[in-house]
Amino acid sequence: MVKKKVQVWLPLIFAIMMALGMIIGYKLRQNTSGGDSFLHNNNTTPLEEAINLIKNKYVDNVNMDSLEEPAINGLLDHLDPHSVFIPAQDLDAMNEDLQGNFQGIGIEFQMIHDTVNVMNVIPDGPSFKAGVQTGDKIITVNDKVNLTGNNISADDVRKQLRGPDGSDVMIAVLRGTSVKKIKITRGIIPLYSLDAAYMLNNTTGYIKLNKFAETTYQEFMQAMEKLQKQNMQQLVLDLRDNGGGIMQEAVEIADEFLDEDKLIVYTQGEHSKRTDYHCSKDGVFEKGKLIVLVDETSASASEILAGALQDWDRATIIGRRTFGKGLVQQQFNLSDKSAIRLTVARYYTPLGRNIQKPYDKGREQYEEELVNRFHDGELVAGDTSKPKGKAFKTPGGHLVYGGGGITPDIFVPFDTTTQPKPVIDLFAKGTIRNFIYNYYIEHEDQLQQYKTPEQFHQQFHFGENEWSALQNFAVKDSVQIKDINSSAKNFVIQQMENLLARQIWRSEGFYELSNADDPMIKKALTVLQ
């Protein structure tokens, strides 16, 4: 009997409870109209709730993009210095550098006296094929966009000249005294990772890498093939000023120097399980003598490569303590086409070294750490006397250290020679660069007699006539170099010749000349001998 009564009344009880709930909910909504009840959503975070509150309730109309970017940066500021937000308008440029290419017309240009001057034309590129020449001055694009005047910036020029692969652009150039219209079909323009690859002497090769992008390993292998055909027996690998890039590219290059299945690097994070990267193939240079050059701006992937070779006693590291970046970033694209590069793991050298320098005192002090190295005299006195972090022993019995960069095996001090202000102004104002460009245009026919940078280095030298011409040219930029001392004068003349070699042969020409007097190169050759 009781069971039957419950069965009769249970549906009625549920109906009454539902009705009461609806009435109470309606009353609560009336009493809290305009309040914060809409915030209470278990699927949102307080940050999202705050943004929604501003968007829906703030007294004035607000551009939410102007709030969201600082909010994201504020969050990342509380993490490590290498977790960064990349706005949508900057993402393509950031990705291009790692992709190793962009879409455009294939020239190097410079704004000189409010005019776009073509400094170099990339061989076999779109502009080269269309007939653009070094020395041309671009004055209009597509017959309507004027590229001359004080208000034109380099970014303005890039926006007009770049475009999708296969698209056309019409430029008008001033060549001498005549105007020529040239139609260019845009293409894929390489951004090379490799600045130079040549023989320092009969048996010693030299390779300079400026970053680790998607094309770096391929460029490196092509350079190795070229140098080995020239009887290379030993190699100097220059990683100075190389801020890193894609870790896998550094791993692939390390594999070419290390044998068997040696561990190259491993990564691990709170939400990333340990991942080991081993040698997986026979390398092209597992036995020859190897020198790696590093300095305080060698970072990340550069340190992975140098650290692996040092841990296995495969290379002699020469230079100064590296930057100290032992964190791995992964890029996450956001809905508005912006992105976050978030640190997801730490990397460790084969011996277990994490060479990340401390960042617990904030980003400002982290960024000033390099400056402090100058002030503390470390870059001059030698950082081998200041090992950082825990000591590790290599298979050959050498001590190496973690916790603040890769400490080189052989220290070469930073050149502290100071130049007088007029010399600094020559470079800061672009005066010397523009002078060399004009000199090249005026003497292009005579300079064609030099077939290689080596021949140029041996036979060409600036004299007093060129020095006088530079003095007169510099006056136009309010730079007076007439009274500088002989040491400063010799320095300027040497840089003029280096820059002229770059104008003729691009970066490889520059390094062939500048390396001839480079203290680290000299030390490397001494060690190899």
Catalytic (active site) residue 421:
no
CB 344 within 8 A of CB 272: yes
In whole angstroms, give the CA distance from residue 255 to residue 277.
10
What is the rounded CA–CA span in Å between residue 147 and residue 144?
Answer: 10
Task: Report the C-alpha gap between 414 and 420 in whole angstroms.
Answer: 18
Our CA angle for 204, 206, 209, nearest 5°, is 160
Beta-strand (E) ranges in 396-504?
A: 399-401, 410-411
Query: Annotated catalytic residue: which of 311, 383, 409, 425?
Result: 311
Catalytic hit among 325, 357, 388, 523: 325
Segments of 25-152 assigned E as strands: 84-86, 101-104, 107-112, 115-121, 137-141, 145-146
Kindly name the residue from 300, 302, 338, 514 that is annotated as catalytic.
Answer: 300
Q: Is the dihedral of CA 495, 498, 503, 508 positive or negative?
A: negative
299: left (phi over 0), alpha (psi -120 to 50) or beta: beta
Q: Are 519 and 415 in contact (CB under 8 A)?
A: yes
Q: Is 300 a catalytic residue?
A: yes
Asked if residues 53 and 38 have their Cβ atoms less than 8 Å apart, the reply is no
361 is catalytic: no
Beta bridge partners of 319: 294, 411
Two structure tokens written together for 33: 């109209």
Between CA 2 and CA 240 the distance in angstroms is 89
Q: Which residues contact 201 (CB under 8 A, 6 or more apart)?
A: 525
Catalytic residues: 300, 311, 325
